[in-house]
């Protein structure tokens, strides 16, 4: 008996059989969910290379791009999330994971500038510590889908200053915790606090993602927005923004975060002690039960 292998029986990798060749390598102990994700990813990725007839020099550029995207990452900079954001992938994943009934407040992108453990304030406090910008009263209620007040809702807010930067982008220039704070609702579910009207600003664009945007002839700007993270026991966490309606970048947000239900009024606060007033109610849905 010959111990030569019958070569005609081996499924070597070919252009035509590339997907089957890769997927056929998984062993029987592969994690089921990972195998499902891997199979779809390999199919789409191989199809993509075939669709565009990917050239070697183009793939080399892509590898260099991914390498520099990784190299610029550190504890304060996450360029891969930024890449996901400008590809609309963060918003797509967020949409898949946060489908809510009509009337509930919609989610949007978290962004890189949230900081845990911001100062907790009494209702009415002013979160603008640098005294710059156009003063604004933010007010409304946290309610459930039936309009009942949600007591004990924690409203964590943050926004940029008049110059378009978050405090964490300008340590030593802006006071720590500038334009950030946490407010907790009482029995009526109401909230109000003072701050400044946010302004539009560019996402960090001095790295590989910024260069990519230039090559795609895209701008890096986000329309003016106020960030909110609203949590309450028994309710789904809301990670969202309110957007200022007249902003020039509303229809071309660099990270696709705008939803029509999140565009909030910013009206002159006649008779009040701030220039603007921005009313907005948050509508929470019960937490999904496990299983």
Contacts with Fe ion by CB under 5 A lie at 111
Residue 109 binds to ligand BEZ (criterion: CB under 6 A): yes
Whole-number Cα distances in Å, 15 to 2, 11, 20, 198:
31, 12, 10, 52
Nearer to ligand BEZ, 235 or 266 (CB): 266
Cβ 141 vs Cβ 190: under 8 Å:
yes
> What angle, rounded to 10 degrees, do the helices at 79-86 and 56-71 form?
130
Nearer to ligand BEZ, 150 or 254 (CB): 254
The binder of 177, among ligand BEZ, Fe ion, none, by C-beta within 5 to 8 A per type, is none
Mind spelling out the 3-state secondary structure of 41-91?
Answer: HHHHHHHHHHHHCCCHHHHHHHHHHHHHHHHCCECCECHHHHHHHHCCHHH
> Which residue has the closest beta carbon to ligand BEZ?
111
Nearer to Fe ion, 111 or 220 (CB): 111
For 76, list phi and psi in degrees, rounded to 5: -105, -10
Minimum distance of Fe ion from residue 108's CB (angstroms): 10
The binder of 196, among ligand BEZ, Fe ion, none, by C-beta within 5 to 8 A per type, is none
For 278, list phi and psi in degrees, rounded to 5: -130, 100
Strand 221-222, strand 201-202: pairing: antiparallel
Stretch that binds ligand BEZ, among 30-38, 105-113, 142-150, 175-183 (CB under 6 A): 105-113
Q: Cα 254 vs. chain centroid, distance in angstroms?
A: 11
Residue selected from 255, 262, 264, 284 as contacting ligand BEZ according to rule CB under 6 A: 255
The binder of 283, among Fe ion, ligand BEZ, none, by C-beta within 5 to 8 A per type, is none
Residue 113 binds to ligand BEZ (criterion: CB under 6 A): yes
CB atoms within 10 A of CB 158: 26
Q: 């892509």: which residue's tokens?
A: 62
Residue 104 binds to ligand BEZ (criterion: CB under 6 A): no
Stretch that binds ligand BEZ, among 104-112, 126-134, 185-193, 210-218 (CB under 6 A): 104-112
The binder of 109, among ligand BEZ, Fe ion, none, by C-beta within 5 to 8 A per type, is ligand BEZ
Nearer to ligand BEZ, 158 or 235 (CB): 158
Q: How many whole angstroms separate alpha carbon 231 and alpha carbon 243?
A: 20
Q: 């948050």: which residue's tokens?
A: 282
Nearer to ligand BEZ, 113 or 177 (CB): 113
Give the residues lining the site for ligand BEZ (CB under 6 A): 82, 85, 109, 111-113, 203, 222, 255
């Amino acid at each position: 008996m010959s111990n030569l292998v019958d070569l005609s029986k081996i499924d070597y990798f070919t252009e035509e059989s590339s997907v089957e060749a890769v997927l056929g390598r998984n062993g029987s102990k592969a994690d089921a969910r990972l195998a499902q994700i891997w199979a779809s990813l390999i199919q789409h990725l191989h199809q993509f290379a075939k669709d565009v007839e990917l050239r070697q020099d183009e793939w080399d550029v892509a590898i260099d791009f991914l390498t520099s995207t990784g190299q610029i990452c550190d504890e304060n900079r996450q360029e891969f999330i930024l890449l996901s954001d400008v590809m609309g992938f963060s918003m797509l994943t967020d949409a898949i994971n946060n489908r809510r009934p009509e009337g509930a407040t919609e989610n949007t992108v978290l962004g890189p500038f949230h900081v845990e453990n911001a100062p907790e304030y009494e209702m009415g406090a002013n979160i603008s510590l640098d005294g710059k910008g156009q003063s604004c009263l933010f007010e409304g209620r946290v309610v459930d889908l039936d309009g009942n007040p949600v007591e004990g809702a924690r409203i964590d807010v943050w926004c940029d200053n008049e110059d378009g930067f978050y405090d964490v982008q300008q340590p030593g220039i802006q006071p720590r915790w500038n334009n950030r704070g946490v407010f907790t609702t009482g029995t009526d579910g109401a909230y109000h606090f003072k701050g400044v009207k946010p302004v539009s600003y560019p996402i960090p664009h001095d790295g590989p993602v910024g260069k990519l945007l230039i090559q795609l002839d895209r701008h890096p700007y986000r329309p003016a927005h106020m960030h909110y993270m609203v949590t309450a026991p028994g309710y789904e966490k809301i990670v969202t923004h309110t957007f200022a309606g007249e902003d020039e970048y509303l229809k071309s947000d660099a990270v696709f975060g705008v939803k029509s239900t999140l565009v909030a009024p910013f009206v002159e606060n006649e008779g009040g002690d701030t220039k603007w007033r921005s009313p907005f109610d948050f509508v929470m849905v019960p937490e999904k039960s496990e299983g």
